[in-house]
Chain A
Amino acid sequence: MLHGERVTLRPQELEDIKQLHLLFNREIDLVMCGYGNWRPRPLGVMEHWFKKDLDDGLQAQFLIEVDGKAIGEIGLHPWRLNRRDGTAELGIGIYDPEYISKGHGREALDLLLEWSFVNQNLRRLWLTTGATNERAIRSYRSCGFMEEGRLREEEWYDGEYADLVVMGLLRREWEAHRAAQAER
């Protein structure tokens, strides 16, 4: 478990899928849920995926918990974890509307970054996000991520084609960023 001031990251368990399913299927903000990737998902399907990942030996994702309540998930995409190059793609979703724009996502990101660079010895983390998701881009920037490019019209987003932004953060940049923040 990784503890922040308000946020805890812990491995997802089968019982947690019920809560994630609830968050995913109530009145949702599609942008928050990856927009185009969202579709109605029966609980049985989500539990099946969870068990299949276990069978395939895939590393579990973290559950983001606040006050003992699951609000979203975060983790490194198992297919984009490259041990030889020391790189990984990360993903985060805060699915509980009550916890948007209050800094919980940022805190979860800081915990994941520290774990990835310090405990997992990764050299570079990267991510992609829709260009229209300005809230997310601001949050990634504040963690030290830098925009590395835009894949033009890669995404179908809210009825229109939109660019996909690629962001990256090298370990030495993260160290410098963290030191600068500690001084403030």
Chain B
Amino acid sequence: MLKGEKVILRAVEKDDLKRLWELEQNVDLLEWSQPDWMPKSLAAREKEYEKQIEERHAERIDFVIEADGKVIGRIGIVHQNRMAHNAIFGMGIFDREYLGRGYGRDAVRVFIDWAFRILNFRRLSLDVLAPNERAIEAYQACGFREEARLRQHSVFRGQPVDLIYMGLLRSEWQHVRAARP
């Protein structure tokens, strides 16, 4: 597992699925990262989980984010390009109690340190809905910068909104990391 100041990142275990499924019912939190939320049964999630284990999907790497002994969100690589050494990741805190208190930021820091130091990526990127200012601020604090703005790319709460691509190069991460207290 990976340890931050506030959070632990670890593999998703079968026993976590119930808790993750419960968090998934917080639609107003989920829709920031999944604007097309729709109901999925716990059984469907369990089946997906089994399938993922069987397929040994090398492309995805999933973590749960744990704080105070409970799962509060997830983070992980959703796509990777080993030739160009880059990866796209996603993150979400889905427990209301832990929002806006630096837990997501801590998780992102731990995650990117792992991706650069251990997995040897040289570039990380993500996409985020333009209205999600809290997330954008957290990513900027970790060193990410806006690289592209896909105009009206998504529909969020009934309105067309821009999708922002953010990126961080290894050289920039080294600077950010050296400047950390």
Query: Hey, which bits of chain A sit against chain B, CB under 8 A?
Result: 36, 84-87, 123-124, 126, 146, 148-156, 161, 166, 168, 170
* A–B complex contacts, Cβ < 8 Å, 30 sampled: A36-B83, A36-B84, A84-B36, A85-B36, A85-B154, A85-B155, A87-B154, A123-B152, A123-B160, A124-B152, A124-B153, A126-B150, A146-B151, A148-B148, A148-B149, A148-B150, A149-B146, A149-B148, A150-B147, A151-B147, A151-B148, A153-B122, A153-B123, A154-B86, A156-B83, A161-B84, A166-B150, A168-B150, A170-B151, A170-B152
Chain A residues with CB under 8 A of B85: 156
A155 (CB) vs chain B CBs: closest residue: B84
Give CA–CA (A85, B160) in the complex, Å: 8
The reply to whether A148 and B84 form a contact with Cβ atoms under 8 Å apart is no
Give CA–CA (A148, B155) in the complex, Å: 18
| Min C-beta distance of A135 to chain B, whole Å | 21
The reply to whether B148 and A166 form a contact with Cβ atoms under 8 Å apart is yes
- A150 in contact with B148 given A126-B153, A155-B84 (CB within 8 Å): yes
Chain A residues with CB under 8 A of B169: 152-153
Give CA–CA (A149, B130) in the complex, Å: 14
| Min C-beta distance of A88 to chain B, whole Å | 11
Q: Mark B117-154, 1 if CB is under 8 A from A, else 0.
A: 00000110100000000000000000000111111111
New A-B contacts (14) at CB < 8 Å, excluding given A84-B36, A149-B149: A84-B155, A85-B36, A85-B153, A87-B154, A123-B160, A124-B152, A126-B153, A150-B147, A152-B167, A153-B122, A154-B84, A161-B84, A166-B148, A166-B165
Chain A residues with CB under 8 A of B125: 151, 154
- A149 in contact with B84 given A85-B155, A168-B153 (CB within 8 Å): no
B171 (CB) vs chain A CBs: closest residue: A153
The reply to whether B123 and A154 form a contact with Cβ atoms under 8 Å apart is yes
The reply to whether B151 and A154 form a contact with Cβ atoms under 8 Å apart is no
The residues in B between 71 and 88 inclusive whose CB is less than 8 angstroms from any CB of A are: 83-86
The reply to whether A149 and B147 form a contact with Cβ atoms under 8 Å apart is yes
Pick the most buried of B122, B146, B167: most chain A CB atoms within 10 A of its CB.
Answer: B167
Chain B residues with CB under 8 A of A124: 151-153
A157 (CB) vs chain B CBs: closest residue: B84
- A152 in contact with B155 given A36-B84, A161-B84 (CB within 8 Å): no
B156 (CB) vs chain A CBs: closest residue: A85
- A149 in contact with B165 given A84-B36, A126-B150, A155-B84 (CB within 8 Å): yes
- A87 in contact with B153 given A150-B147, A154-B86 (CB within 8 Å): yes
Chain A residues with CB under 8 A of B154: 85, 87
Give CA–CA (A56, B84) in the complex, Å: 29
| Min C-beta distance of A176 to chain B, whole Å | 15
Please name the 6 residue pairs, one residue from A and one from B, whose CB atoms are nearest each other, closest first: A149-B148, A156-B84, A166-B148, A84-B36, A149-B147, A148-B148
